[in-house]
Structure 1
């Protein structure tokens, strides 16, 4: 699927794993903000990561998904998908390899959904990238921007 970078106006990064995984995803938000220019970069994560992500300079809106608490169950999951759909995102970047994360972006009708081939929800992604082994997690996450000409580099360290 070919989409010009200039056509990307709203980006959602989905990382609902553990807090350490969220920290290692922040460079992805930094680089996405740089390459997509004026696009808004939003982030969906778990409650434990809220304080780390909410003040990040490159993230416009923070979505909290309490998958084991108040948002547990299909009704709340579908309600969140509808809220995300109403935002009309152009792109979802999904480093978390769960079916739940990929399905949420699909249910939100985000037209372009990028993730790894090791994702349990890879059949719901539009861009399935090889999962690179033997590299740092930050670098691996940056691989999700390869369709936009970004070469992953550890030069991007987390900014808290």
Structure 2
């Protein structure tokens, strides 16, 4: 991959990679760090990267960086302060985006990534398999299970209202 191809790849796919990682991590700073590291690794390994496959390579590296980040974050425990003066409002919120984000949050990391890669980013099963390291049939099975879980969450009135 040449420097020009690298710059073109950054221009074309930076927003897509960031959006994919942000949807999974739900934290802007962490998503920026993961994406930056993915681009850095692609730059370091640019001699081995085929310019025509830079998108797949970039998403693969970003996906693996995200998985590593999630594993590290799970090892860290946070102590949240409890404040008794916090008011809780018991009123329904009719916000579709929030409901969908909550539904996605119910999925495990693999399922969430597969749904986002297929339904948000439009990758084929084969491309998703290459990015995640799963076989095409595993991608189909995990994606089906994720969609069933999403459906069950979304049809439940207490989750939507």
Q: TM-score, normalised by structure 2?
A: 0.25
Greater helix share, structure number: 2
* Structure having the higher Rg: 2
Structure with the largest fraction of strand = 1
